[in-house]
Amino acid sequence: MYNLIDGKLVSAYIKDTVKEKTAELKAAGKEITLAVIIVGDDPASRVYVNNKKKACEYVGFRSLEYALPAETTEDELISLIEKLNNDSSVNGILCQLPVPAHINDEKVIDAISPEKDVDGFSKINVGKLWVGDYDLAACTPMGVMELLRYYNIEISGKNCVIIGRSNIVGKPMAALLLEENGTVTVCHSRTKNLAEVTSKADILVAAVGRAGFVTADMVKEGAVVIDVGINRNASGKLCGDVDFEKVKEKVSYITPVPGGCGPMTIALLMKNTLIAAEKQSNK
Protein backbone atom coordinates (compact mmCIF):
# COMPACT_ATOMS: atom_id res chain seq x y z
CA MET A 1 0.00 0.00 0.00
CA TYR A 2 1.51 3.32 -1.04
CA ASN A 3 1.52 6.60 0.87
CA LEU A 4 0.59 9.76 -0.97
CA ILE A 5 2.95 12.69 -0.38
CA ASP A 6 0.66 15.68 0.01
CA GLY A 7 2.35 18.80 -1.35
CA LYS A 8 -0.72 20.93 -0.64
CA LEU A 9 -0.57 20.05 3.03
CA VAL A 10 3.18 20.54 3.41
CA SER A 11 3.22 23.77 1.39
CA ALA A 12 0.40 25.17 3.53
CA TYR A 13 2.39 24.29 6.64
CA ILE A 14 5.49 26.08 5.29
CA LYS A 15 3.55 29.16 4.19
CA ASP A 16 1.85 29.34 7.60
CA THR A 17 5.24 29.17 9.33
CA VAL A 18 6.50 31.99 7.09
CA LYS A 19 3.29 33.96 7.74
CA GLU A 20 3.73 33.70 11.50
CA LYS A 21 7.35 34.84 11.37
CA THR A 22 6.46 37.67 8.97
CA ALA A 23 3.79 38.92 11.38
CA GLU A 24 6.37 38.93 14.22
CA LEU A 25 8.80 40.94 12.08
CA LYS A 26 6.01 43.33 11.06
CA ALA A 27 5.15 43.89 14.72
CA ALA A 28 8.80 44.83 15.23
CA GLY A 29 8.54 47.34 12.36
CA LYS A 30 10.18 45.26 9.62
CA GLU A 31 8.36 44.68 6.35
CA ILE A 32 9.47 42.02 3.84
CA THR A 33 9.40 42.87 0.15
CA LEU A 34 9.70 40.62 -2.89
CA ALA A 35 10.21 42.24 -6.30
CA VAL A 36 9.07 40.17 -9.27
CA ILE A 37 10.04 41.12 -12.82
CA ILE A 38 8.22 39.76 -15.84
CA VAL A 39 9.31 40.58 -19.38
CA GLY A 40 6.83 40.06 -22.23
CA ASP A 41 3.43 38.42 -22.13
CA ASP A 42 3.99 34.67 -21.95
CA PRO A 43 0.68 33.37 -20.52
CA ALA A 44 2.30 30.61 -18.43
CA SER A 45 4.72 33.15 -16.90
CA ARG A 46 1.79 35.45 -16.13
CA VAL A 47 0.04 32.62 -14.24
CA TYR A 48 3.23 31.90 -12.25
CA VAL A 49 3.73 35.58 -11.41
CA ASN A 50 0.10 35.95 -10.30
CA ASN A 51 0.46 32.89 -8.07
CA LYS A 52 3.63 34.32 -6.54
CA LYS A 53 1.81 37.61 -5.83
CA LYS A 54 -1.05 35.72 -4.19
CA ALA A 55 1.38 33.78 -2.00
CA CYS A 56 3.08 37.06 -0.97
CA GLU A 57 -0.29 38.46 0.05
CA TYR A 58 -1.04 35.31 2.03
CA VAL A 59 2.19 35.34 4.05
CA GLY A 60 2.12 39.12 4.51
CA PHE A 61 4.96 40.22 2.21
CA ARG A 62 4.80 43.40 0.19
CA SER A 63 5.10 42.41 -3.45
CA LEU A 64 6.32 44.68 -6.21
CA GLU A 65 5.63 43.74 -9.79
CA TYR A 66 7.61 45.10 -12.73
CA ALA A 67 5.85 44.07 -15.94
CA LEU A 68 8.13 45.08 -18.79
CA PRO A 69 7.31 44.96 -22.52
CA ALA A 70 8.81 42.17 -24.64
CA GLU A 71 11.05 44.72 -26.44
CA THR A 72 12.87 45.64 -23.20
CA THR A 73 16.62 45.50 -23.79
CA GLU A 74 19.04 43.50 -21.69
CA ASP A 75 20.64 46.76 -20.47
CA GLU A 76 17.27 48.15 -19.39
CA LEU A 77 16.45 44.98 -17.52
CA ILE A 78 19.83 44.88 -15.81
CA SER A 79 19.51 48.58 -14.84
CA LEU A 80 16.21 47.79 -13.13
CA ILE A 81 17.82 44.86 -11.28
CA GLU A 82 20.67 47.11 -10.16
CA LYS A 83 18.19 49.69 -8.89
CA LEU A 84 16.43 46.97 -6.88
CA ASN A 85 19.77 45.60 -5.63
CA ASN A 86 20.51 49.05 -4.22
CA ASP A 87 17.08 49.52 -2.67
CA SER A 88 17.38 48.42 0.94
CA SER A 89 13.60 48.07 1.26
CA VAL A 90 13.67 45.19 -1.28
CA ASN A 91 14.66 41.83 0.23
CA GLY A 92 14.18 39.46 -2.68
CA ILE A 93 14.32 39.85 -6.46
CA LEU A 94 13.30 37.38 -9.10
CA CYS A 95 13.02 37.62 -12.82
CA GLN A 96 10.45 35.21 -14.21
CA LEU A 97 12.03 32.90 -16.80
CA PRO A 98 12.08 32.48 -19.71
CA VAL A 99 13.02 36.00 -20.80
CA PRO A 100 12.69 36.88 -24.51
CA ALA A 101 15.41 35.37 -26.73
CA HIS A 102 17.33 38.65 -27.23
CA ILE A 103 18.10 38.77 -23.49
CA ASN A 104 20.83 36.56 -22.01
CA ASP A 105 19.17 34.88 -19.02
CA GLU A 106 22.49 33.98 -17.37
CA LYS A 107 23.54 37.64 -17.35
CA VAL A 108 20.20 38.60 -15.86
CA ILE A 109 20.37 35.98 -13.13
CA ASP A 110 23.91 36.95 -12.21
CA ALA A 111 22.98 40.64 -12.09
CA ILE A 112 20.75 39.91 -9.08
CA SER A 113 22.65 40.44 -5.84
CA PRO A 114 23.30 36.94 -4.36
CA GLU A 115 21.77 38.09 -1.04
CA LYS A 116 18.50 38.89 -2.86
CA ASP A 117 18.56 35.96 -5.30
CA VAL A 118 15.58 34.12 -3.81
CA ASP A 119 15.40 31.69 -6.77
CA GLY A 120 18.94 30.55 -5.87
CA PHE A 121 19.95 30.48 -9.55
CA SER A 122 23.00 32.79 -9.50
CA LYS A 123 26.46 31.28 -9.90
CA ILE A 124 27.46 32.43 -6.42
CA ASN A 125 24.48 30.69 -4.79
CA VAL A 126 24.92 27.56 -6.93
CA GLY A 127 28.60 27.44 -5.91
CA LYS A 128 27.67 27.89 -2.25
CA LEU A 129 25.19 25.02 -2.58
CA TRP A 130 27.84 22.67 -3.98
CA VAL A 131 30.29 23.42 -1.17
CA GLY A 132 27.53 22.81 1.38
CA ASP A 133 27.45 26.39 2.69
CA TYR A 134 24.20 27.74 1.31
CA ASP A 135 21.15 29.65 2.43
CA LEU A 136 19.37 30.32 -0.88
CA ALA A 137 19.01 27.31 -3.18
CA ALA A 138 16.58 26.59 -6.03
CA CYS A 139 12.99 26.43 -4.78
CA THR A 140 11.76 23.28 -6.57
CA PRO A 141 14.47 20.89 -5.30
CA MET A 142 14.34 22.60 -1.89
CA GLY A 143 10.63 21.83 -1.94
CA VAL A 144 11.40 18.16 -2.63
CA MET A 145 13.75 18.12 0.37
CA GLU A 146 10.99 19.57 2.57
CA LEU A 147 8.60 16.84 1.41
CA LEU A 148 11.15 14.11 2.23
CA ARG A 149 11.79 15.71 5.63
CA TYR A 150 8.09 16.11 6.46
CA TYR A 151 7.43 12.41 5.78
CA ASN A 152 10.60 11.34 7.65
CA ILE A 153 12.03 9.67 4.57
CA GLU A 154 15.61 8.65 5.24
CA ILE A 155 18.10 9.90 2.63
CA SER A 156 21.44 8.98 4.19
CA GLY A 157 23.01 5.99 2.43
CA LYS A 158 20.07 5.60 0.03
CA ASN A 159 20.39 5.25 -3.72
CA CYS A 160 18.96 8.48 -5.07
CA VAL A 161 18.43 8.68 -8.82
CA ILE A 162 17.42 11.90 -10.55
CA ILE A 163 16.22 11.93 -14.15
CA GLY A 164 17.06 15.35 -15.58
CA ARG A 165 20.10 17.58 -15.21
CA SER A 166 18.72 21.11 -15.62
CA ASN A 167 20.21 23.97 -13.63
CA ILE A 168 16.88 24.68 -11.97
CA VAL A 169 15.88 21.15 -10.93
CA GLY A 170 18.20 18.20 -11.64
CA LYS A 171 21.59 19.63 -10.66
CA PRO A 172 20.57 21.43 -7.45
CA MET A 173 18.51 18.34 -6.52
CA ALA A 174 21.69 16.28 -6.79
CA ALA A 175 23.62 18.71 -4.57
CA LEU A 176 20.89 18.72 -1.91
CA LEU A 177 20.55 14.93 -1.77
CA LEU A 178 24.33 14.57 -1.64
CA GLU A 179 24.42 17.06 1.22
CA GLU A 180 22.09 14.69 3.11
CA ASN A 181 24.44 11.77 2.40
CA GLY A 182 22.45 10.16 -0.39
CA THR A 183 24.33 8.15 -3.01
CA VAL A 184 23.34 10.22 -6.00
CA THR A 185 23.12 9.36 -9.70
CA VAL A 186 22.00 11.94 -12.26
CA CYS A 187 20.50 10.57 -15.49
CA HIS A 188 19.83 12.58 -18.64
CA SER A 189 19.02 12.26 -22.31
CA ARG A 190 22.33 10.51 -23.08
CA THR A 191 22.11 7.99 -20.22
CA LYS A 192 22.37 4.40 -21.40
CA ASN A 193 20.12 1.69 -19.96
CA LEU A 194 18.04 4.22 -18.04
CA ALA A 195 15.58 1.66 -16.63
CA GLU A 196 18.45 -0.37 -15.22
CA VAL A 197 19.71 2.67 -13.30
CA THR A 198 16.31 3.90 -12.14
CA SER A 199 15.20 0.47 -10.97
CA LYS A 200 17.98 0.55 -8.36
CA ALA A 201 16.71 3.80 -6.85
CA ASP A 202 15.42 3.95 -3.29
CA ILE A 203 14.46 7.55 -4.05
CA LEU A 204 13.63 8.39 -7.66
CA VAL A 205 13.14 12.01 -8.73
CA ALA A 206 11.72 12.59 -12.22
CA ALA A 207 12.32 16.00 -13.81
CA VAL A 208 12.13 15.35 -17.53
CA GLY A 209 9.03 17.13 -18.84
CA ARG A 210 7.41 14.16 -20.61
CA ALA A 211 4.02 12.73 -19.63
CA GLY A 212 4.11 9.06 -18.63
CA PHE A 213 7.90 8.84 -19.05
CA VAL A 214 8.52 6.83 -15.86
CA THR A 215 6.80 3.46 -16.18
CA ALA A 216 6.35 0.77 -13.53
CA ASP A 217 9.19 -1.40 -14.89
CA MET A 218 11.63 1.47 -14.19
CA VAL A 219 10.78 1.59 -10.50
CA LYS A 220 12.00 -0.60 -7.64
CA GLU A 221 9.46 -2.22 -5.33
CA GLY A 222 9.03 0.01 -2.25
CA ALA A 223 10.80 3.05 -3.75
CA VAL A 224 9.97 6.68 -2.99
CA VAL A 225 8.96 8.42 -6.22
CA ILE A 226 9.00 12.19 -6.55
CA ASP A 227 7.44 13.57 -9.71
CA VAL A 228 8.60 17.09 -10.53
CA GLY A 229 7.24 17.10 -14.09
CA ILE A 230 4.39 19.36 -15.12
CA ASN A 231 2.90 18.27 -18.44
CA ARG A 232 -0.39 17.95 -20.24
CA ASN A 233 -1.44 14.50 -21.41
CA ALA A 234 -3.13 13.74 -24.75
CA SER A 235 -6.51 14.85 -23.35
CA GLY A 236 -5.06 18.12 -22.05
CA LYS A 237 -5.10 17.07 -18.40
CA LEU A 238 -2.28 18.20 -16.10
CA CYS A 239 0.09 15.33 -15.30
CA GLY A 240 3.63 14.60 -14.23
CA ASP A 241 6.44 12.50 -15.71
CA VAL A 242 5.37 9.35 -13.88
CA ASP A 243 2.71 6.87 -14.98
CA PHE A 244 1.04 7.41 -11.60
CA GLU A 245 -1.72 4.77 -11.76
CA LYS A 246 0.67 1.89 -12.46
CA VAL A 247 3.71 3.12 -10.53
CA LYS A 248 1.77 3.80 -7.31
CA GLU A 249 1.10 0.06 -6.90
CA LYS A 250 4.84 -0.61 -6.46
CA VAL A 251 6.06 2.23 -4.27
CA SER A 252 6.13 3.18 -0.59
CA TYR A 253 5.64 6.92 -1.22
CA ILE A 254 4.67 8.92 -4.30
CA THR A 255 3.83 12.54 -5.13
CA PRO A 256 0.73 13.24 -7.23
CA VAL A 257 0.55 15.82 -10.03
CA PRO A 258 -1.08 18.21 -9.41
CA GLY A 259 -0.74 18.60 -5.64
CA GLY A 260 2.81 17.26 -5.16
CA CYS A 261 5.91 19.28 -5.98
CA GLY A 262 4.07 22.15 -7.71
CA PRO A 263 2.71 23.93 -4.61
CA MET A 264 6.04 23.40 -2.81
CA THR A 265 7.98 25.60 -5.23
CA ILE A 266 6.05 28.77 -4.34
CA ALA A 267 6.10 27.92 -0.63
CA LEU A 268 9.90 27.65 -0.80
CA LEU A 269 10.07 30.96 -2.64
CA MET A 270 8.30 32.51 0.35
CA LYS A 271 10.67 30.74 2.75
CA ASN A 272 13.73 31.84 0.77
CA THR A 273 12.50 35.46 0.81
CA LEU A 274 12.09 35.31 4.57
CA ILE A 275 15.59 33.80 4.93
CA ALA A 276 17.04 36.53 2.68
CA ALA A 277 15.32 39.26 4.71
CA GLU A 278 16.52 37.81 8.02
CA LYS A 279 20.11 37.52 6.73
CA GLN A 280 20.01 41.12 5.48
CA SER A 281 18.78 42.46 8.81
CA ASN A 282 21.49 40.52 10.71
CA LYS A 283 24.28 42.12 8.69
Catalytic positions are 52, 96, 119
Bridge partners, residue 225, by sequence: 204, 254
13-39 residues labelled b (16+ CB within 10 A) or e (exposed): ebbeebbebbeebeeeeeebbbbbbbb
CA distances to 143, 203, 271 from 156, in Å: 18, 11, 24
Q: Indicate the residue among 78 and 168 with the shorter CB distance to ligand NAD.
A: 168
Q: Indicate the residue among 32 and 139 with the shorter CB distance to ligand NAD.
A: 139
Residue 15 three-state SS:
helix
* Helices within 101-150 (DSSP H only): 105-111, 123-130, 139-150
Find the residue with minimal CB distance to ligand NAD: 166
Q: Indicate the residue among 85 and 125 with the shorter CB distance to ligand NAD.
A: 125
Q: How far is the CB of 182 from ligand NAD (least distance, A)?
A: 19
- For 256, phi and psi rounded to 5 degrees? -85, 165
Q: How far is the CB of 214 from ligand NAD (least distance, A)?
A: 10
Q: Which residues bind ligand NAD (CB under 6 A)?
A: 140, 163-166, 168-170, 187-189, 191, 194, 207-209, 228-231, 261-262, 265
Q: How far is the CB of 211 from ligand NAD (least distance, A)?
A: 9
Q: Indicate the residue among 26 and 237 with the shorter CB distance to ligand NAD.
A: 237
For 53-99, the DSSP string reads HHHHHHHT-EEEEEEE-TT--HHHHHHHHHHHHT-TT--EEEEPSPP
Q: Are 7 and 261 in contact (CB under 8 A)?
A: yes
Q: How far is the CB of 1 from ligand NAD (least distance, A)?
A: 25
Q: Indicate the residue among 92 and 263 with the shorter CB distance to ligand NAD.
A: 263
Q: How far is the CB of 213 from ligand NAD (least distance, A)?
A: 7
Task: Give the Cα separation of 51 and 262 in Å (integer).
Answer: 11
Task: Give the Cα separation of 89 and 250 in Å (integer).
Answer: 50
Sorted by sequence, the CB contacts under 8 Å of residue 82 that are 6+ apart come out as: 111
